[in-house]
């Protein structure tokens, strides 16, 4: 007879419905799994995207959330890398250190749990969350919108005990993604010019990454002018609102930069903007990195001539970070004051109010809301 753990969670029962905050049942961690008490979690646009029903991997009912931090409460059979009391960040990009991807030295993507993760299941093909005996699905291998969650041992990074969980939760997705896309994926160098499309949590973190890389110019692009002040504070040098122009925004940026930028980053998830981000890159060498997540079925397009003439189109997941081996180094950088996480936290609230966090995001009023349990 399974002894369920009771956990307070925000359950997404169906697309476009408010999350329901209620007590649900959680099975103890099975072999290779870890039970984590989530202390804080950010709300990322990707949670809203999946809740909108546009994610081809969205399964309902589920517990969303993938930007959390917490403390290990119990470990399943065979788990040796984690112990009760460890401070941890759940990882939607797992790192098993054994698969073809992990050992390639070429990518941070890992195949160990990805197939089941995309179906809302644990690696053994079942769920740990239940309500009235019916399964509730996991999300991105993390499900951090729950006081307690169970994750694979490969989907968890052990972090420094003295890192404040209510801030470093943002390294579970947004801030790591933006900084890493610039520093690890694009490898921007001193003097390079950069354009960042979209100034939410991801775009602002990309600006920090560009500043850390000593980019000479950082062009911040958003249709919400309220976003420019923070972008400026974090190091952006130029500000462009596409609504202020009656020509394509790529033409505006090409004119501003004598032929285009060295690097651009799309941090919105809009395929037309992805095209603009590519086409504002300099002929011969400009590189555009797609970070934004586009709706199921959406496709990107440009004239192949854009690539023939030397521009490069690439993408970045979790900023290219291998969570288990590399997140502690990023936390070191944060602890040494290389960047601040408080810059991102515009709102904090209890789990009971989580639907407000989604409203604030959609209204363009928040950068990150951090939920406390
Ligand atoms: P957000 O909602 O906080 O910010 C999006 C920003 O884009 C807002 O400031 C908005 O005003 C701006 N915007 C919207 N339409 C625009 C347009 N046409 N032109 C210019 N700006 C526009 O979102 P976020 O949490 O920063 O996430 C951004 C995107 O990155 C989402 O698509 C999210 O799913 C994705 N994401 C990807 C990864 C990854 O690993 N690849 C990780 C995290 C998030
Ligand atoms: N499920 C979507 C894809 C979603 C997606 O691209 N996710 C990003 C992370 S977003 C975090 O906020 C990612 O890392 N992708 C790589 C991966 O392995 O999921 C779909 O379109 O089906
Ligand atoms: Zn995210």
Domain boundaries, the chain: 5-172+342-372, 175-317
- Please tell me the number of the ligand nearest to residue 269's CA: 1
Identify the pLDDT of residue 64. 99
Identify the pLDDT of residue 269. 98
For residue 93, the ligand 1 atom closest to its alpha carbon is 40
Q: Which of 307, 257, 249 is nearest to 283 (CA)?
A: 307
Give the Cα separation of 13 and 195 in Å (integer).
Answer: 38
Determine whether the shortest distance from the Cβ of 367 to ligand 2 is under 6 A.
Answer: no
Spot the catalytic one: 62, 173, 267, 281.
173
Q: Kindly list the distances between the CA atom of residue 109 and the CA atoms of 82, 93, 127, 360, in Å, as whole numbers in the listed order.
A: 22, 6, 23, 31
Cα 342 to chain centroid, rounded: 17
Spot the catalytic one: 33, 67, 266, 326.
67
Identify the pLDDT of residue 2. 79
For residue 47, the ligand 2 atom closest to its alpha carbon is 12
pTM of the model: 0.98
Determine whether the shortest distance from the Cβ of 57 to ligand 2 is under 6 A.
Answer: yes
Domain 175-317 is in which class?
alpha beta
Identify the pLDDT of residue 20. 98
- Alpha-carbon torsion, ordered 156, 295, 303, 262, to 10 deg: -40
Determine the topology of domain 5-172+342-372 in CATH: Quinone Oxidoreductase; Chain A, domain 1 (3.90.180)
Catalytic, 281? Answer no
Spot the catalytic one: 8, 37, 114, 217.
114
Task: Among 55, 224, 268, 318, say which to mutate for ligand 1: greatest number of ligand atoms within 8 Å of CB.
Answer: 268
Block means of pLDDT (10 residues each) for the chain, 373 residues, are 92 98 98 98 98 97 98 98 98 98 98 98 98 98 98 98 98 99 98 98 98 98 98 98 98 98 99 98 98 97 98 98 98 98 98 98 98 96
DSSP string, 177-242: HHHHIIIIII---TT-EEEEE--SHHHHHHHHHHHHTT-SEEEEE-S-GGGHHHHHHHT--EEE-G
Buried b (16+ CB within 10 A) or exposed e, 51-76: beebbeebbbbbbbbbbbbbbbbbbb
DSSP string, 53-64: T--TT--SSEE-
The 8-class DSSP code of residue 171 comes to: G
Identify the pLDDT of residue 347. 98
The three-state secondary structure class of 288 is strand
Q: How many CB atoms are closer than 10 A to CB 116?
A: 17
Identify the pLDDT of residue 345. 98
Identify the pLDDT of residue 204. 98
The three-state secondary structure class of 117 is helix
């Amino acid at each position: 007879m399974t002894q369920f753990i009771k956990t307070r969670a925000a359950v997404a029962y169906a697309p476009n419905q408010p999350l329901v905050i209620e007590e649900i049942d959680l099975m103890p961690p099975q072999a290779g799994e870890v039970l984590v008490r989530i202390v804080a979690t950010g709300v990322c646009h990707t949670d809203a995207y999946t809740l909108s029903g546009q994610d081809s991997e969205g399964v309902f009912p589920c517990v969303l959330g993938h930007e959390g931090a917490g403390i290990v409460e119990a470990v399943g059979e065979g788990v040796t890398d984690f112990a009760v009391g460890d401070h941890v960040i759940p990882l939607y990009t797992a790192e098993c250190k054994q698969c073809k991807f992990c050992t390639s030295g070429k990518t941070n993507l890992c195949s160990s749990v990805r197939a089941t993760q995309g179906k809302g299941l644990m690696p053994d093909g079942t769920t740990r969350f239940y309500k009235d005996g019916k399964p509730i699905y996991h999300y991105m291998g993390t499900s951090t919108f729950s006081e307690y969650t169970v994750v694979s041992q490969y989907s968890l990074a052990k972090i420094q005990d003295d890192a404040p969980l209510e801030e470093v939760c943002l390294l579970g997705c947004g801030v790591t993604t933006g900084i890493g896309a610039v520093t690890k994926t694009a490898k921007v160098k001193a003097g390079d010019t950069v354009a960042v499309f979209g100034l939410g949590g991801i775009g602002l973190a990309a600006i920090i990454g560009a500043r850390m890389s000593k980019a000479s110019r950082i062009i911040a692009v958003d249709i919400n002018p309220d976003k420019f002040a923070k972008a400026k504070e974090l190091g952006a040098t130029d500000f462009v609102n596409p609504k202020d122009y009656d020509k394509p925004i790529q033409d505006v940026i090409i004119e501003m930069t004598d032929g285009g930028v060295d690097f651009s980053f799309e941090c919105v998830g809009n395929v037309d903007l992805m095209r603009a981000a590519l086409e504002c890159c300099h002929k011969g060498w400009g590189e555009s990195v797609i970070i934004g997540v586009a709706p199921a079925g959406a496709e990107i397009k440009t004239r192949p001539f854009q690539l023939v003439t030397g521009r490069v189109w690439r993408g970045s997941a979790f900023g290219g970070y291998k969570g288990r081996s590399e997140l502690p180094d990023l936390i070191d950088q944060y602890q040494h004051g290389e960047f601040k996480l408080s810059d991102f936290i515009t709102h904090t609230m209890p789990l009971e109010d989580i639907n407000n966090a989604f409203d604030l995001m959609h209204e363009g009023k928040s950068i990150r809301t951090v939920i406390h349990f």
